[in-house]
Amino acid sequence: MIQPMLLLLILKKPTHGYELIQSFNALHEDEIVEPGTIYRNLRRMEKEGFVLSNWEATETGPARRNYAITRAGLKALQGAVLKLKQQKKEIEDFLTEYSDLAAKEGHSDEN
Amino acid sequence: MIQPMLLLLILKKPTHGYELIQSFNALHEDEIVEPGTIYRNLRRMEKEGFVLSNWEATETGPARRNYAITRAGLKALQGAVLKLKQQKKEIEDFLTEYSDLAAKEGHSDEN
DNA sequence: AAGCCTATGTGCGTCATGCACTTAGTGTTA
DNA sequence: TAACACTAAGTGCATGACGCACATAGGCTT
């Protein structure tokens, strides 16, 4: 889940890790992700050729490593989308089975 | 995903690990799960009090360890259902964002 | 006797994450 | 000026989950 979300964020707007952490955890208010995890995912994706980084000097603070998505990254994102569609279907099937059984057996939980 | 599916299977029909492996991988034809993973999950869930096991001798082969779900296991299953609903929503949000962007930018992929 | 199916488990390596910490530049405040 | 806070990136260590391979063992078939 983390990798595709990062790829999508970078695709929407190429940026650096620190801002990605903010954006990521803004959507994920509940279960926040550690900075270290984000940084490591970015470096991993760069090693795999899904993103490219270049340092940018700033006047207001430390230098930033900016990320942009590559063609391979787009392919990876498309692949991840397919997997997520599949995963969504599996979850739906599971929830359906659960609801059916709960309805029959009376482990009622409907809201 | 493995744990809730096992809990649901056991809830539907208390049974032993070997059969759970068959049932599990029958639904999951694509990405099959290792027997070791199933067995370890079952033992873990027993340690956490979600299931109870008892040995049953058979005449046709080696003894089986039969599993039944506990009240705590039912609670855990309900909790997992809530998490999966949440997770499903996150995936849907992601897919929506992706589709919107793909539509606008022309990274067309609609099928 | 050899091989297969049922049935449960373990040992080892790998990978991903959380938690905590480090480094470093800049600005603010007591 | 010293302490603190914010930005920005990263690492070290422990933990946890999984795959792969292997071990063990009962019973049936060829």
Q: What is the pLDDT of residue A30?
A: 82
Residue A43's alpha-carbon distances to A48, A71, A80, B66, in angstroms, are 9, 17, 18, 46
Token pair of B15, please? 């049974």
Q: What is the pLDDT of residue A110?
A: 46
Domain locations in chain B as residue ranges: 2-83
In chain A, which residues touch B (CB < 8 A)?
1, 4-5, 8, 11-12, 27-28, 30, 74, 77-78, 81, 84-88, 90-95, 97-98, 101, 107, 109
The model's pLDDT over A14-73, given as tens digits with 9 standing for 90+, comes to 999 999 999 999 888 888 999 999 999 999 999 999 999 999 999 889 999 999 999 999
CATH fold label, A2-82: Arc Repressor Mutant, subunit A (1.10.10)
Q: Which of B76, B32, B52 is nearest to A98 (CA)?
A: B76
How many residues make up chain A in this entry? 111
The model's pLDDT over B55-75, given as tens digits with 9 standing for 90+, comes to 999 989 999 999 999 999 999
Residue whose tokens read 């998490």: B83
Classify residue A31 as exposed, middle or buried by CB count within 10 Å of its CB (0-12, 13-18, 19+): exposed
Q: What is the pTM of this model?
A: 0.89
Give me the residues near strand D, CB below 7 A.
A 16-19, 35-36, 39-40, 42-43, 58, 60-66; B 2, 31, 33-37, 40-41, 44, 59-62
E strand intervals along chain B = 15-16, 51-56, 64-69
CATH of domain B2-83: 1.10.10.10
